[in-house]
Amino acid sequence: MAKRKEDDKILDVNAAMQGSLVFSDPVNLRINGKFEGSLDTKGKLTVGQAAEIRADIVGENITIAGNIKGNIKATEAVKLLSTAQVIGNIEVPRISIEQGAIFNGKCRTAEARISLEELSDYLSVEEKKIIEWVEGGKIPVEKEGNRLLFDRREVESWVAHKP
């Protein structure tokens, strides 16, 4: 997996917007205004203290200081700062909530083991390529019946040390 240069792509939005925003390439996105709709981003998303968002959000690393009404799904981490107000469910491997933050919803931490399909989405790699890695003994895997399961931490370590 190639190292991302998301610091090169910064988008600071301080406006009222409505609709669907999808970022297929990593970007540092900061929202300081109003947004309504759906948001699918890669890289870092920061919701500023003045932001008011009514949207379902899918992302990687999300830091929230403002208001969100909607569900949040992150592949890496969510951080609620002390001024954050979130009404909705959160699904994420790691979460931190500062004192003073308001969170009204359910939080589900991601499973330690993920399926082939989830790993394909997580790595943005075709399932066929992952199966080649498995068959070549290049990636750590567990077999449960006919299912291939991957330990998220082992995969992250493998990715970090992959030449």
How many distinct helices (H) and strands (E) make up the chain? 3, 16
Position 69 scores a pLDDT of: 98
pLDDT tens track for 57-87: 999 999 999 999 999 999 889 999 999 999 9
Specify the DSSP element, H or E, that contains 151: strand 147-151
Predicted pLDDT of residue 58: 92
Report pLDDT digits (tens) over 109-141.
Answer: 866 678 899 889 888 899 999 999 999 988 889
Tell which wins on pLDDT, 151 or 47.
47
CA 32 – CA 99 distance, rounded (Å): 22
Q: Are 62 and 41 in contact (CB under 8 A)?
A: no
User: Could you say which DSSP state residue 65 is in?
Assistant: -
Torsion of CA 143, 146, 127, 28, to 10 degrees: -60
